[in-house]
Structures are given as C-alpha cells and as structure tokens.
Amino acid sequence: MGKLDGRVALITGAARGQGRAHAVALAGEGADIIATDLCADIPVCDYPLATLEDLAETGRLVEKLGRRAVTHQVDVRDAPAMRTAVDSGVATLGRLDIVVANAAIAPIGADPRHDPDELWAATLDTNLTGVWNTLAPAIPHLVAGARGGAIVLISSTAGLKGIVNGSVGATAYTASKHGVVGIMRALALELAPHSIRVNTVHPTGVNTPMIRN
C-alpha cells in the first residue's frame, strides 16, 4: 500500500528532469498522474527543451509502476489550453488531489543574443503566469473534491534571494521565482479552510537537462 493510493496528481513540466522525478515518485506512492509539458523549444532559451518522446517516456515510467498516466502536450502560457488539459485529465482519472506546478525556463545569461523584452516576457509568462494558469483550473477540482489536498509550487533559491550576473535573464528568473512565493502565500491563506496545503520548494542547481546542456 502506498501513501497516495487512489489519489491523482497533476504535474507540469513533467517530460523530463525534476518534473519526471516528481511524477515517478508520486506514482511510486500510488498516485495516478496527469503529466503536461510544452514539448517544444522557446526561442529565448539557448538550450533544448523536452520533446514529445520525453513526455511519452514519463507516461511509460508511471505505467510501469502500475499507475495510470494521462499526458498532454500543452503550453502553461496558454490559459485556455491548460484549462482543457486539466479538465480532460480530471475527467479521465476521476479526481484531483495534488498539483505540482513545476514548468519553468532558466534563460540565465542568454542575452545579448535575444531581445530583452522578449526574454523578460517569456520568462515571466512561463515561470509565473504559467503557475497561475495551472492553478486556476485545478483549484476548483481540489475544492469540489472536499478531501483537502496539496499544492506544491517549484520556486528556486532565486525565490529567496537575488541572482545577479548582469543579464536580463537572471533578473527575470529571480523576479518570476519570487512571484511564485507570493502566489503561495496568498493561496495558502485562501485555501486553508478547505484543508488544501500550499507550499513552495526552493531547489538550488539540480542535475537536469535544464542546467547541464
């Protein structure tokens, strides 16, 4: 028996790296998984992002553990598409108990090769607005279940202190990860009456393709 038998978890940025690790760990404890990822490159990122095959492999790893997996190629910057993906996943798996908002980019040091306005917008849209676009459709399902739940927002050490290297990318990344903490603080108060926990996690450098490429 796993700690999460019968539960369903939604994870963004699940095709590889930390997102895949979260999916496999939760499935190992008995949860079924809704896994989403962009599965395409973003021009301001000077490293390759995950692929459709990466996302499919996450699904296969979950299923090897005896759990169900629903995968969706979707951009967290696209609010209507995220709503469709979340609602579809919940309809397929029957409920929602856990959300891990993990999708993010780290174009630190990418400029001056890219337009600074585009760099700023892509980082904030993915790392901050993307978290909200994940939570906005997910929270009603958590509340409607009336079973409590858990929301985990993946911030960074950059959400606790500044990262400075003279680049717009570093400033945008720091701002976005501090913003994730603000979302957590607001929603922790709002959702406490429903027994839904909201926390941030603040990793430093992690050995994933986002860092090592």
Do residues 101 and 157 make contact, with C-beta atoms less than 8 angstroms apart?
no
Is the bond into 137 cis (omega within 30 degrees of 0)? no
Active site annotation includes 173 = yes
Q: Which of 173, 174, 177, 184 is catalytic?
A: 173
Closest CA to 47 of 169, 212, 158: 212
> For residues 156 and 89, what is the distance between their CA atoms, to the nearest angstrom?
27
Give residues with Cβ within 8 angstroms of 100, minimum separation 6.
9, 10, 11, 12, 19, 22, 26, 152, 154
Q: What are the tokens at 86?
A: 């979340």
Sheet holding 8-12, edge to edge: 69-73, 32-37, 8-12, 98-101, 149-154, 196-201
- Judged by DSSP in three states, 1 sits in coil
Structure tokens at 205: 């450098």
- Catalytically annotated residues: 173
